[in-house]
């Protein structure tokens, strides 16, 4: 998925080694950030600890700005970055199911792996549930394939979808992130004061 493959800077085997190292680093960062704890993650949905929103929005904005300016400087060809097709209805439904699982269990797939790797039983149970869901989906796929491949919109990006320039989309996302950070800080303080406790 990285443009480096397009230029044959390294092969698949070395790419897997890089992916493994990045994965270990990502998991370590998640654990150090408290994302291996279901209580911290679930607090997001009760609006008294918005750490998930802050960290994920920061990651999104950082990656977006990096890609945009690297492309502008000629260091990265965005046309070589892999973009998957958009299947709007199945992906919306899949996102809804994933979100419900996140609310109920307190983990997303990535954080459940982090939790399980540190010995948390709830993370292990959640991870087993993910594998069970994958197995069930695989067995039912022949029945679901028609819906799974429906409403194909092709390779769609936000600038194309909204008819705006990449720069404008970057600007709007940054403004949205700043507004979300401010609202999250305000909400945490209000709820902490109301409940008579500090932010966990």
| Lookup: tokens for 194 | 């109301």
Tally of CA atoms within 13 A in the half-sphere of 88 that contains its CB? 7
What does the pLDDT read at residue 5?
Answer: 64
Cα separation, 107 vs 38, whole angstroms: 6
Q: What is the pLDDT of residue 131?
A: 93
Consecutive sets of 10 residues in the chain, 200 residues long: mean pLDDT of each? Answer: 62 81 89 86 83 88 92 82 89 92 86 90 91 93 94 91 92 93 87 63
Q: What is the maximum alpha-carbon separation in the chain?
A: 58
Confidence at residue 199, expressed as pLDDT on a 0 to 100 scale: 47
CA distance 92 to 109: 17
Would the CA dihedral through 168, 171, 173, 175 be positive or negative?
negative
Contacts of 114-118 spanning 24+ positions with Cβ under 8 A? 114/27, 114/30, 114/31, 114/35, 114/36, 115/36, 115/37, 115/38, 117/27, 117/31, 117/36, 118/31, 118/36
d(CA 157, CA 146): 24
Q: What is 64-131 written as a DSSP string?
A: HHHHHHHHHTTS--GGGS--PPPBHHHHHHHHHHHHHHHHHHS--HHHHHHHHHTT-HHHHHHHHHHH
Distance of CA 97 to the CA centre of its chain: 15
The token pair that represents 103 in the structure block: 């609310």
Provide the 3-class DSSP secondary structure of residue 47.
coil
Cα-only R_g, the chain: 20
């Amino acid at each position: 998925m990285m443009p480096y493959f397009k230029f044959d800077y390294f092969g698949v085997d070395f790419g897997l080694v890089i992916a493994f190292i990045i994965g270990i680093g990502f998991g370590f960062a998640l654990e150090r950030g408290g994302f291996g704890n279901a209580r911290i993650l679930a607090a997001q949905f009760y609006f008294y600890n918005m750490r998930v929103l802050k960290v994920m929005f920061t990651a999104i904005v950082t990656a977006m700005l990096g890609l945009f300016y690297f492309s502008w400087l000629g260091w990265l060809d965005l046309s070589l970055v892999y973009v998957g097709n958009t299947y709007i209805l199945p992906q919306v439904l899949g996102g809804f199911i994933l979100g419900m699982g996140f609310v109920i269990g307190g983990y997303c797939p990535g954080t459940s792996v982090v939790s399980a790797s540190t010995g948390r039983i709830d993370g292990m149970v959640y991870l087993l549930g993910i594998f069970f869901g994958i197995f069930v989906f695989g067995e039912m796929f022949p029945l679901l394939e028609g819906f799974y491949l429906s409403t194909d919109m092709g390779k769609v990006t936000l600038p194309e979808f909204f008819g705006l320039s990449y720069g404008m989309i970057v600007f709007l996302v940054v403004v949205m992130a700043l507004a979300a950070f401010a609202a999250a800080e305000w909400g945490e303080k209000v709820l902490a004061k109301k409940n008579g406790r500090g932010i966990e």
